[in-house]
Amino acid sequence: MKTLYPIALILSLSFFVSSFKTSENEILLHKKTSTIATVYNSDSDVDALSNDFFKRYSDLKKYKSDVMSLYKNRTLGTIWFDEDDINEFGSVLYEKAKKTNDLAIPYQNEIDALFSSSESKLSKTDADMLLSSLYVAYAKKTNSDSKKKVSYDAMLKDFLNYSTIEEATASTTTVDAKVEYDQYYKLQDVLKKYKKMERSNKWKPIVPEETHYKDLRPDAVSKTIAQVRTRLYLLGDLKTNSKSDVYDRELMDAVMKYKVRNGFKPNYILAEEHIKEMNVPLSDKMETLKLNMERCRAISAQIAASDEYVLVNVPSYELIYVKNGKVQLTSSVFVGAPLTKTTIFNGEIDRIVFSPYWTVPQSIVNNELKGKIAADKNYLADKNMEIVNGQVRQKPGPDNSLGLVKFMFPNPDDIYMHDTPSKTLFDFEKRTFSHGCINVKMAKELAIAMLKDYPEWTPDKIDKAMEGKTENSFKLSKKVPIYITYFTSLVNENGEIGFYQDVYERDSDLSKTLLPQSEVVAN
């Protein structure tokens, strides 16, 4: 669970640190820690900091009272941030504000920069208060009751039109409930089925027959098998329930279907982890569905209108390439480790680079390579590396860390998609191995699919470009949108629901953001 700070502490420390960028306090500010003493939390400190903000952003002074009301009596710190990233709630606000007719707010360019691929120069404190100002302007524009007081709880109820997540998914009859991304309605249909299943009281925990669980394989006979069969029948992976306790061909097909749609390794082994996943309470599953329905609200409307795009979903470790409304390619990927998370954002692929060089990050050079280079004069040559302009880079080739092709989309975090020589890593179920970039299993096939509209790029030419000795970069005449998303449940093309690991622990953060403060404490 994240450590939460009073807003006064967050604002005070942020302002203090901005004046002393080389101090240790700046490092502490960006780490989750419970050891910082609450020393800047008096009303006078808050007043001084808010006065400073509204002095620098003088055109927002008329919102000052309402903005500070959002932070009053709250134990949370920033409203719109999850560590250093804007949370889903902030994205929803931005999208709603853009769609509100005649909503004009000062410093719109600064706000736009927070959600664009260009790097914003705002401090987290300034950015958070700017977004709070945007909310106040939005609320005053869309609320018919001009005398209604602004508060954090009122914002949750009024802004997203619900007081609990349950209310959010109960009805879609209002105009405001319309969501452009149709995944919302697919998840909603699954939610209705799960609610009906819960009311039927047919969902019973699977209790393994064995005291010490042993993997179940085809032809096994066990009372556990009969329970698994009933579970997969309720979930729709089995069309009929024979109630047999034999692991037969019919159950093998159902197990495979269950595993594939939920991101497990596709085999017939029923391990203990699979039984635990099948035993996740329906209430938890429904909560996950509701959270991901909310994520659909924040998805740009452009995805519904795009005739071509790439979508990467981090929790399912999957990429899909869509063109003319149809999925052209699906590929496994691996993504950033928890300490080097892949950024969740939208961008545009503008270049495909064949036979790429890999410039080794200086941190790797300092921590790993310098000693090896000093100890072995042939080390660089053996690793197909060279030093150019003081930087170590790996030459193109089949062993290059970026593989044979990469896909570039400008972004402040300098992440991109690329091939990889480490194909065995795609055999793992949990695939968080990279420093933030997206490694694509079917990178060559993706390049071929994306270049079909470019006659000069035949499959044969692509093969030769990938086997080149020097880098070959091709600029796309039509940029392809890319959406890097975080859905822990999704409905696939066949209408099947999949639940995936919350690899970056974003579900709990979103749940706390959406639920009123009183409900978070109660839970």
Burial 34-62 (b: 16+ CB within 10 A, else e): eeeeeebbeeebbeebbeebbeebeebee
Amino acid in the structure at residue 195? K
What CA–CA distance (Å, rounded) separates 49 from 178? 39
What CA–CA distance (Å, rounded) separates 296 from 169? 12
What CA–CA distance (Å, rounded) separates 125 from 43? 17
- Helix, strand, coil % in the chain, rounded to nearest 5: 45, 15, 40
Pair 313, 333: CB distance under 8 Å? no
Of 66, 98, 70, the residue nearest 155 (C-alpha):
70
What CA–CA distance (Å, rounded) separates 183 from 187? 6
What CA–CA distance (Å, rounded) separates 87 from 413? 17
Pair 234, 399: CB distance under 8 Å? no
β-bridge partners, 321: 310, 329
Provide the annotated active-site residues.
Answer: 418, 437
What CA–CA distance (Å, rounded) separates 177 from 195? 20
Instruction: Count how many residues are written for the chain.
Output: 523
Of 392, 397, 407, the residue nearest 475 (C-alpha):
407
What CA–CA distance (Å, rounded) separates 311 from 301? 14
Pair 186, 277: CB distance under 8 Å? no
β-bridge partners, 216: 270
Of 79, 86, 82, 85, the residue nearest 133 (C-alpha):
79
Pair 135, 151: CB distance under 8 Å? no
- Non-local (6+) Cβ contacts of 57 within 8 A are 106, 107, 126, 129, 130, 133
Pair 252, 200: CB distance under 8 Å? no
What CA–CA distance (Å, rounded) separates 369 from 446? 33
φ/ψ bin of 384: left (φ > 0), alpha (ψ from -120 to 50), beta (otherwise): left
Pair 14, 36: CB distance under 8 Å? no
Greatest alpha-carbon span in the chain:
76
Q: The tokens of 244 are what?
A: 């047999």
For 191-260, list the strands marked E by DSSP: none
